[in-house]
Structure 1
Amino acid sequence: MKKARRGIYAAAISPFNEDGSLNSKKLIGYCQHLLSDGGCDGVAPTGTTGEGTSVAMADRLRLPEAFAAAGIETDRVLFGTGAPASGDCVALSRAAIDAGYNNVLVLPPYYYKSPSDEGLYAYFSNLVEKIANDTLRVYLYHIPQVSAAPISTSVVNRLRAAFGPVIAGLKDSSGDFEQTRAFVEATGGISDEFDVYPSSESMLWEGLSIGTAGIISGSTNAFAVNVQKARKAPEGPERDAAMEAVRNARTMASKYPLMAGMKTLEAWRSGDDSWLRMAPPLVPLTAEQKAGLRADMDALTSAAT
């Protein structure tokens, strides 16, 4: 079992059946697309953009085995396994590691707001101790505007001191680059084998320049190819132009509810309107929003030609 490879990840959107259950087969096919023509180095299913906290536990528990049966490389997947109940987090993480997927992206317990550092340490240490497998690699998930449970640098370093390489990295979805910088400076970033991932591709080169590991983003469901172009471009005018295209796409995507917007784009790409289904309380784009998104996508395409 390998640590997750570094690079550009999509926080993969989730397809649902008519009865609201997760369509695992379609999700696997979609992730295979992301990992090939979609331009991604890796995928993060059942995370925030994947409506993971709205997916039934039974579906989440079965998913890693289905990924394994499909032969998706284990170092290219970060399963979201966070849950308010520590026992559910352990069960989801164990299902992943039992299927060969040892890299997990773990939300803090997000029902009780502003928990203490001691409480957060207890939650994450419980996960590591209950799994009791040295191949486990935990990526902490800092998204305080949603979880209301911020993860401090002191908690991160206390966990690393206790569990070493098992605490492998962190996704910083705060949207604040100075917060990303603080995580890198506190941990040493990739130079000390701790992989910090900002959540916006607009921060790609700012992040790489200080020692981040790549990007994990919701909008890379649609725009990872652009991000890879910017990542591989030589410094200078070519990179500047590529990053401008990345920022323009990210700015456009941010005009719409992210999950519904990405699902609409996938429905258009695949010709499959079942992608428009959302897990309550989230809802699809309105007709007006769809028209705006279509016009914005046309404008992006025209600007790129």
Structure 2
Amino acid sequence: MKARRGIYAAAVTPFNADGTVNTAAHIAYCQHLLSDGGCDGVAPTGTTGEGTSVTLSDRIAMPAAFAKAGIETDRVIFGTGAPASGDSVALTKASCDAGFTNVLVLPPYYYKTPSDDGLYAYYARLIESVARDDLRIYVYHFPQMSAVPLSVDLVLRLKKDFGAIMAGLKDSSGDFSQSAAFIEATGGVDADFDVYPSSEAMLWDGLSMGSAGVISGSTNGFGALAQTALNAPEGAERDAAMAKVKAARAMASKYPLMAGMKQMEAWRSGDDNWTRMAPPLMPLSDQQRADLRADIDAFWEETA
């Protein structure tokens, strides 16, 4: 089943002291995001989830743990990209075998300036090796981090050749004109191709053109605000809801996003273990933590 549309959190990942994933805390957290957290879905092991820093064994085991916990399969898009195509195949098979057939796949990001033919071959090998008609791939355009942009022509070629298996795209470029270009070229939701910008500040700009929602790091902390804006009627109510969304996003953007969202969860849960980061990333400094606390308190006071 294709992933439902709407508000997604690129879920942060809790680590044990030895660097392994705290699976129980991770599942409980994603369940929170899917309920009180206001999200329609979660995207674990993406950029905000430090997915490229999670061991392959932990990433392979994760979908089965989510399935055992009863998390609905159409509410999860697992990140399964890897520089080695065989690793991406193994991760994607593990996700599909657990019932989670929707996957978010970075391009192979070690070699820079690959040709479109080379990138096409990577995704084609993944599709042919997994060999499942129910596989649904969301390609992941994040040139600032991967340094491997995905061209509109490549996306159209993959969509033409692999049909429904090419389910959509996450655009983390931060440039709405890029999201708009992908939507216009593919037809967006009207053509059953789901483009997700990476900021909830772009929510209604995207929806008005045919996006499927957003997949965002800051919805870890502010998903309920985005959900309110998603469901608000057009006019003054929606404008007011979106003003809160944009203010929250701007506040979150003042801090390292992953560390900031983890700090917010540490406060919410009362568990400081949430502040652990996978090296080379680091937790917030004492000053950053104090500033974030003050900003959050002021934000909720001002928007109450």
The two structures have a TM-score, normalised by structure 2, of: 0.99
Deviation at 1:7, TM superposition (A): 0.4
1:91 matches 2:87: no
Percent of pairs with identical residues:
68
- The answer for unaligned runs of 5 or more in structure 2 is none
Q: Tell me, in whole angstroms, the C-alpha distance in 1 between the residues paired with 2:298 and 2:230.
A: 23
Residue identity matched to 1:11: A
Deviation at 1:235, TM superposition (A): 1.0
Q: Tell me, in whole angstroms, the C-alpha distance in 2 between the residues paired with 1:52 and 1:266.
A: 18
- The answer for unaligned runs of 5 or more in structure 1 is none
Q: How does 1:139-154 map to 2 (within 5 A)?
A: 139-154=138-153
- Structure 1 consecutive aligned stretches of length 4 or more whose deviation exceeds 3 Å: none
Q: Tell me, in whole angstroms, the C-alpha distance in 1 between the residues paired with 2:114 and 2:47.
A: 20
Residue in 2 aligned with 1:248?
247
Residue in 2 aligned with 1:62?
61
Deviations 1:130-149 (A, max 9, x none): 01100000000000000000
Deviation at 1:113, TM superposition (A): 1.3
Residue in 2 aligned with 1:272?
271
Q: Tell me, in whole angstroms, the C-alpha distance in 1 between the residues paired with 2:106 and 2:16.
A: 25
Residue in 1 aligned with 2:291?
292
Residue in 1 aligned with 2:125?
126
1:195 matches 2:194: yes
Secondary structure at the aligned position of 2:273 is classed as helix
Q: Tell me, in whole angstroms, the C-alpha distance in 1 between the residues paired with 2:160 and 2:240.
A: 42
Residue identity matched to 1:158: R
Residue in 1 aligned with 2:236?
237
Q: Tell me, in whole angstroms, the C-alpha distance in 2 between the residues paired with 1:271 and 1:114.
A: 44
Deviation at 1:25, TM superposition (A): 1.3
Deviation at 1:282, TM superposition (A): 0.2
Residue identity matched to 1:75: D
Secondary structure at the aligned position of 1:168 is classed as strand
Secondary structure at the aligned position of 2:208 is classed as helix
Residue identity matched to 1:84: P
Deviation at 1:236, TM superposition (A): 1.0
Deviation at 1:224, TM superposition (A): 0.5
Residue identity matched to 1:142: H
Residue identity matched to 1:39: G
Residue in 2 aligned with 1:218?
217
**Number of positions where the alignment pairs a residue of Structure 1 with one of Structure 2:** 304
Residue in 2 aligned with 1:304?
303
